[in-house]
A and B are shown apart, each in its own frame.
Chain A
Amino acid sequence: MNTINELLSALSGIATSPSLLLIILGGVVLGTVAGLLPGIGPSTAIALLLPVAITVPAEVSLPLMVSLYLGAEYGGRISAILLNIPGDPGAIMTTLDGHPMALKGKAATALSISALASFVGSVLAFFGLAFIAGPMSELGLAFGPGAYFAVVVMALVLSATLVGSAPMLGLTAVAIGVAVSTVGIELQSGLPRFTFGSFTLLEGIDPIVAIIGVFGVGEILASTAMSKDFQTVSKLSGRFLPTGLELRQGTLPSLRGSIIGFIAGVLPGAGTTIAAFFSYGLEKRLAPESAGMGKGAVRGLVAPESANNAAVSGSMVPLLTLGIPGSGTTAVLLAYLMMYGLNPGPGFFDANPELAWTIIGALLVSAILGVVINIGASPLLAKILAIPMPFMAPVILILALISCYSIHNSATDVYIALAFGVLGYVMRLVGMSPALLVIGLVLGEMLERNLQQALGLTGGNFWAVISDSLALVFIVIAVLALVSVLPWRRLFGKKATEAKADVTK
């Protein structure tokens, strides 16, 4: 009952605040545009909002960011359907049936039916988040530093093994992130580490600078390989409103996709891509041959779309209740929360009830605004796709410069972002996910701090830390996840890539 009251209070607070509604609307529009443009995902767009975040309070900027995140999941499907290029990684599976529908002259139908599926996924997952977050946050209060250390280890291992083509490279990306988090003054001893005499590095590397580098600058460097004649936008043909038959065909897959998406979102690191991947795989197994999966089937379009939107709310569960990011984008959100001095995790709902429920409420409002904008403004959004990357890229780089520069009014942060951009480019060459580096970076400090506290409590006995019953459960899960990917063919990524190829067949 308390949850319902808190939720209704937050929703009425948003509904009666025109400025907050306007901010959420702005977030959804920005997110949709960021999502539909290949190369600018929600992580990049949220990272580039840094100057805004510095200026306004968390009560304003966080609803803006979560609405942007959900808007990006709506927007990603537009380029997937019209261009055959996923606007964001979560929309990869949408290309498989969405673009064939567009080629059949049903682009408008594909856009509207996928927007409805995204809406279903967003709303169902919103209820999942609203009713799970509170109890899970209470549960998290039982975690001591040892259990927390184990949770972070589990989150890092699960992230590394679920994302990307090769688990070893996933672990490498996570380890790089953790390594970067050790730069700066070590809080217990006060000694500088890896600063090489630089005063700027004494404070450590700001996670937002690294995020802007690997996502924003890195993606632009990777896009230099794109041909300038690459984009061929399909015509917005066909009827906007789906037929009754199409709606019936999409109902069950959409519900299944929502559930899978929410669960995948809750898993640390899995995020929208894995959600869409699993839901499409399930529909492919369930669909009869006559369904024409991969040739423009409605179920093949709606299932991943419901899933990737549901994963947004799902990924908020571990972020708000445990302080563990459920996706790359929530890792960026975690960095912002830490920047504001807020500590998401156990006790977050008790310490900041209004903010926590406003974030959750903003997701529902964003879902409603998202479906209205994405169906109503489809022709306009499709036109944005015609802007070629050669003219878009400099603007993104300028925004990256402003965002980094705004932190300390110093060029040093910009050069650090550039270095991370080069790293992000190299990582993309071998299919390493930059999101994993970010997850390692934002969790690295938490990992070391909890380990130090746990060792302090146990008199420096590491075995006592991990033999605590709760910690042991998480460590066992982490070890099982590692063991499941280490042997033998999967050690070097072959099975992962084969599995991927199998689903996309």
Chain B
Amino acid sequence: MSAKRVTPQSIDDQRADVGSRTASAALSSVVLGFLAVFYVINAFLLPDAAVEEGIGPKTFPLVVGIVLLCTTGLGIIAIVRGGVEVRPVGGQEVLRVASCIVLFGLYTASIFLIGFVEASVIFSMLVSMTVFGVRLSAVRAVGLFVINIVIAMALFLIFDVWLHVLLPVGWLEFWVFGGLQL
């Protein structure tokens, strides 16, 4: 039986069977280019306080910014000219990544509104089903829901009760842990 040769690229190809290298190159070039330009402009705007010896607060960031701008520029040229392995990215992937970012942002905000365990359970269900596209029957969805509650409660127990990370408390964790005065 012949073994399939594995390279990081082939793994990436398996990850993204449909997608465009151009979109990927454009996306990464825009993000990296924006970061470099943004940093250099703000480095130029820094006040240069006078110091007796050595360098002021502006010089080091300015040198770093210029290096960043140069390497990013050459890096973008390398990406555009195809001198770099670029993982293709498809519309569906962008959508999934965007939804994952939005869900994570909402999850972070919601732990203060409904509590850590409750928000974590909802977040886990939504990530599995929307971001990763898992389709579940009603019975399996209930099973996953229960597993997620158990995992979230276990995490709350480890981090809040044992390690004293002050996680926001919802009604479920108050009922289970607060009621027992742990």
Contact = CB atoms under 8 A, between A and B. Distances in A.
B164 A55 contact: yes
Interface string A172-211: 1001101100100010110101100000000000000000
A427 B109 CA distance: 26
A379 interface: no
Interface string B1-16: 1111111100100111
Contacts of A217: 104
A169 B85 contact: no
Nearest to A187: B57
Interface in B17-44: 17, 19, 24-25, 27-28, 31-32, 35-36, 39, 42
B171 interface: no
A418 B101 contact: yes
B179 interface: no
Chain A: number of interface residues, binned into ranges? 35 or more
B117 to A, nearest CB: 10
Contacts of A103: 1, 3
A444 B144 CA distance: 44
B96 A224 contact: yes
A95 interface: yes
B141 interface: no
Given A188-B57, A193-B61, A225-B96, A165 B47 contact: no
A100 B53 contact: no
Contact of B79 (A55, A423, A430): A430
Contacts of B4: 84, 99
Contact of B123 (A389, A397, A402): A397
A353 interface: no
A305 B5 CA distance: 18
A182 B1 contact: no
28 contacts: A52-B163, A85-B11, A92-B6, A166-B83, A168-B75, A169-B84, A188-B57, A189-B49, A220-B100, A224-B100, A227-B15, A228-B134, A230-B14, A230-B15, A394-B124, A395-B151, A397-B127, A402-B167, A414-B108, A422-B31, A430-B24, A430-B28, A431-B87, A444-B64, A452-B55, A460-B54, A500-B7, A504-B7
Interface of B: 1-8, 11, 14-17, 19, 24-25, 27-28, 31-32, 35-36, 39, 42, 46-47, 49, 51, 53-57, 60-61, 64-65, 67-68, 71-72, 74-75, 77-79, 81, 83-87, 89-90, 93, 96-97, 100-101, 104-105, 107-109, 111-112, 120, 123-124, 127-128, 131-134, 144, 148, 151-152, 155, 159, 163-167
Interface of A: 51-52, 54-55, 84-86, 92, 95-96, 99-100, 103-104, 165-166, 168-169, 171-172, 175-176, 178-179, 182, 186, 188-189, 191, 193-194, 217, 220-228, 230, 294-296, 389-391, 393-395, 397-399, 401-402, 405-406, 409, 411, 414-415, 418, 421-423, 425-431, 444, 448, 451-453, 455-456, 459-460, 491-494, 497, 500-501, 504-505
